[in-house]
């Protein structure tokens, strides 16, 4: 017997919703019949399987509601079934959904998916698994890691990222040492020059000098700016950002996804 599944069905950003169905086709059909969307306008993302016990509970709730409101009285109420249909909030709560609002936008976290009015993306273990499949890179297995264990894993990942940042910065600064330009440097060796300007120059200023004094390919330019932006986020308080708050499980899952991608 095919199990019931929870889907997120996206359409126009206003009618997006959770649907319980046995297939993505069935989930989209609910939205087509209820709101008149065309099939090509709908995207169904499978969120998770629903344990059988909730089917029994959903049917009981639906039958009790039908009796109370004298609904479907022309049918055998005792044999009514609740699904396929939209998912009620009680079901989402039972499945572990969490809610928060950031910058005025409501977000839902469920089974390592973050869902907003205009986006859905993976976090935590799911994000690492999807990235590993795309890149072939192996990441630490955190599928059975506890809250405390995840924090330790993140501390390790942050350390690896900082070390990587230092390496990349060193490669770039050594490659563009003559971007600085100063007549007195002619009196020194390359090693001495490096020590002199490294003490005076921020990485951001170096990027600016490189752009001013060299013809840089557009893709390289964007890569340098992207690296500088992400480097600054990690080095200057990423773990206290509202979205990536390291003291919360949700924030930790967002951090895992962010650092794995970095």
CB environment 203-218: b (16+ within 10 A), e (fewer): beebbebbeeeeeeee
The Cα–Cα gap between 232 and 225 comes to 11
DSSP 14-28: SS-EEEEESSHHHHH
pLDDT for position 193: 63
Q: Are 151 and 256 in a shared domain?
A: yes
Give the integer Cα–Cα distance in Å for 260 and 154.
10
- Of the three residues 58, 79, 95, the one that is the final residue of a domain is 95
Residues 170 and 245 both lie in one domain: yes
**Residue 130: inside a domain:** no
User: Do the domain assignments include residue 117?
Assistant: no
Question: Quick check: bond before 97 cis, omega within 30?
Answer: no
Same domain, 185 and 245: yes
Domain span holding position 227:
147-261
CA distance linking residue 250 with residue 130, whole number of Å: 18
Q: Taking 60 as the threshold, does the pLDDT of residue 247 lie above it?
A: yes
Query: 80 with 186, same domain?
Result: no
Mean per-residue pLDDT of the chain: 86
Give the residue from 95, 113, 134 where a domain finishes.
95
In terms of Cα–Cα distance, which of 93, 120, 121, 122 is closest to 16?
Answer: 120
Cβ-based neighbours of 192, under 8 Å, separated by 6 or more: none
**13 lies in a domain?**
yes
8 Å CB contact between 254 and 100: no
Same domain? For 151 and 83 the reply is no
pLDDT at 131: 87
Long-range contacts of 116-119 (CB under 8 A, 24+ apart): 117/13, 117/14, 117/16, 118/13
What pLDDT does residue 1 have?
45
Between 42 and 190, the more confident residue is 42
Give the contacts of 134 (CB within 8 A, at least 6 positions apart): none
Residue 88 and residue 84: Cα distance in Å, rounded? Answer: 12
> How much of the chain exceeds pLDDT 90, in percent?
50
Q: Is the residue at 115 inside a domain? A: no
The stretch 160-172 carries a mean pLDDT of 89
165 and 236 inside one domain: yes
Q: What share of the chain is helix, strand, coil (3-state, %, to 5)?
A: 55, 15, 30
User: Is 136 part of a structural domain of the chain?
Assistant: no
On whether both 257 and 151 belong to a single domain, the answer is yes
Q: Is residue 238 part of a domain?
A: yes
pLDDT of residue 88: 97
For residue 141, being part of any structural domain is answered with no
How many CB atoms are closer than 10 A to CB 48? 14
User: Are 87 and 152 in a shared domain?
Assistant: no
CA distance 110 to 117: 15
- Give the number of domains in the chain: 2
Q: Are residues 225 and 151 in the same domain?
A: yes
Question: Of 95, 115, 136, which residue is a domain's last?
Answer: 95
Q: Is residue 41 part of a domain?
A: yes
Check whether residue 73 and residue 174 sit in a common domain. no
Q: Express each pLDDT in 63-119 by its tens digit.
A: 999 888 887 777 787 889 999 999 999 999 999 999 999 989 999 999 999 999 889
Q: Of 188, 208, 205, nearest to 196 (Cα)?
A: 188
List the one residue out of 58, 61, 77, 41 whose CA is nearest residue 6. 58
């Amino acid at each position: 017997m095919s199990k019931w599944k929870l889907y997120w069905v996206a359409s126009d950003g206003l009618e997006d919703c959770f649907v319980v169905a046995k297939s993505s086709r069935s989930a989209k059909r609910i939205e087509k019949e209820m709101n008149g969307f065309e099939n090509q306008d709908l995207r169904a993302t499978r969120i998770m399987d629903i344990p059988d016990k909730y089917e029994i509970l959903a049917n009981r709730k639906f039958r009790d509601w039908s009796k109370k409101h004298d609904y479907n009285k022309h049918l055998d109420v005792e044999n009514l079934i609740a699904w396929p249909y939209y998912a009620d909030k009680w079901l989402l709560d039972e499945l572990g959904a969490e809610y928060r609002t950031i910058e005025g936008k409501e977000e839902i976290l469920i089974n390592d998916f973050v869902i907003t009015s205009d986006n859905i993306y993976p976090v935590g273990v799911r994000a690492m698994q999807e990235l590993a499949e795309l890149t072939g890179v192996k990441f630490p297995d955190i599928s059975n890691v506890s809250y405390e264990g995840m924090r330790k894993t993140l501390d390790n990942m942050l350390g690896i990222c900082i070390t990587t940042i230092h390496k990349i910065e060193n490669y770039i600064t050594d490659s563009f040492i003559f971007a600085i330009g100063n007549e007195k440097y002619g009196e020194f060796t390359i090693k001495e020059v490096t020590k002199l300007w490294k003490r005076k120059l921020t990485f951001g200023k170096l990027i600016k000098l490189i752009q001013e004094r060299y013809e840089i390919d557009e893709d390289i330019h964007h890569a340098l700016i992207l690296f500088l932006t992400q480097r600054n986020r990690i080095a200057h308080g990423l773990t206290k950002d509202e979205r990536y708050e390291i003291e919360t499980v949700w924030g930790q899952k967002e951090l895992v996804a962010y650092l794995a991608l970095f």
